[in-house]
Chain A
């Protein structure tokens, strides 16, 4: 427990003394929500065809997914940076196991994701009149926490495997582009071509966002959501196991 708290203390010190990171983690998604979400709402008119909700309500889950994804990439980038400047190797000799190191990082990631989600949901409900399904709040919490953890483990693998900064940035940007746009984050998948729908349905970000959307505004078939949630848990556990293994192989 002491080791876990020490990692949390370190992460908090780093993030809270670097306000630009905090801005990107906590407030950047809100700006996205307000600008992109509201403008798209005006463009498409309300409600969205076939869904019966506004675009802002539809996009709330997308913003939550994007925020978790972004916090995870920032934390993983921190891993990469630590290794690049050497402290990572000294930290591996600190009194903690590799799993504790990884868990400490992810717990901080999760706390940040929960704070960010509170701000986003608050903004959505209070300012944009998103009809939140309050009874599904525990499910939403699980979706936010599980999602941020899964994406952190996934990006940690790349942060630990890739040695070059430019390559790591390229990979992250590529994932950002492919995973975000080939998912249900920005638009409903039903009107899209079959090949795109098939690709998007294989994307773990679609699974994550669909769970968040079901928890926030109730859109989605419960059985399908259950299947997507189970698939995301498997994805996260596999990523965790592989990230720990990669961390153990660091020399």
Chain B
């Protein structure tokens, strides 16, 4: 049995440029995926990160048979996405980035219809629909048509359906868009449970804290290429010398902007009387700078920590190879 949930080899996808009047090129071809090779093991929660236009969605579309590659190979659970698309589709569930639901059907019928396509027995599907509706706080809306629900509820229905089936591989493109924080936290818990049961979860997200919290394995890509790969600890090693500092004053000291500008932080966020900044320097130097900042006012709280995934991401996107 293939140990990989999926694997890609020298995968390339080029979108042809659009043609204008008289066949003149209106836009240049775009190399959305540019020779990527990697694999993901079964049962993991795998995060695919990158800025807008990095090629994440294109990669997902190829893996889910929505799009053919220009060259290279992609195999999902041992099946070639081009030669054996039906075998691939039998084993995957996908939630696309955009809102997508059966508008004319009720929330419950959305779930039952999806189960039907995956050949779940009707009685079993009905029982499971009750559980899933409960999990996603959809019971009061269960019999309302989705077209009458708000965007947030539509998204719930869309994500909920992947819990109606047991496909071994689940692709979620920005799954938490439009979800309230409480439900989002709950869904993250459900995803962990699914992974513990052996399902592989592949998620793309712009919310890096989600990936930090959920993913066993992360791949950061930009302009169709892999920029970094590994678990959170491996990625943190890539940004040695990057520290996150949080300082809360009783009141923000006057003239602190000048001092902050001198420190050249990688990232800076000021809210009320709290400073959050990322500094890239040797440990002793960082502590010295923090002391200097602390001396500017009356400090209520100081925290120095290793870099977050967001800092690493920003740092990697600034690296010359990511820009090239």
Contact = CB atoms under 8 A, between A and B. Distances in A.
Interface string A13-26: 11001100000000
A14 B98 contact: no
B96 to A, nearest CB: 6
B321 to A, nearest CB: 29
B99 A17 contact: no
A96 B158 CA distance: 19
The interface size bin for chain A is 20 to 34
A196 interface: no
Nearest to B64: A93
Given A6-B116, A93-B89, A95-B86, A13 B96 contact: no
Contacts of A88: 100
B237 interface: no
B77 interface: no
Contacts of B106: 17
Contacts of A170: none
A230 B67 CA distance: 36
A93 B66 contact: yes
Contacts of B109: 13, 17
A87 B158 CA distance: 9
A1 to B, nearest CB: 11
A95 B90 contact: yes
A85 B100 contact: yes
A224 B290 CA distance: 93
Given A3-B117, A18-B104, A251-B61, A89 B90 contact: no
Contacts of B8: none
Nearest to B97: A86
A85 B117 contact: no
Contacts of B263: none
A225 to B, nearest CB: 39
A17 B105 CA distance: 8
A88 B102 CA distance: 9
Contact of A94 (B67, B104, B117, B145): B117
A10 B86 contact: no
A32 B59 CA distance: 51
Contacts of B99: 85-86
Question: Which of A81, A94, A251: most chain B Cβ within 10 A?
Answer: A94
27 contacts: A6-B119, A9-B116, A10-B102, A10-B113, A10-B116, A13-B109, A17-B104, A17-B109, A17-B145, A85-B99, A85-B103, A86-B100, A86-B101, A89-B66, A90-B94, A90-B96, A90-B100, A93-B64, A93-B66, A93-B89, A93-B93, A94-B118, A95-B117, A95-B118, A95-B119, A96-B89, A251-B61
Interface of A: 2-3, 6, 9-10, 13-14, 17-18, 81, 85-90, 92-97, 250-251
Given A10-B102, A85-B103, 5 more contacts: A85-B100, A89-B100, A93-B92, A94-B114, A250-B66
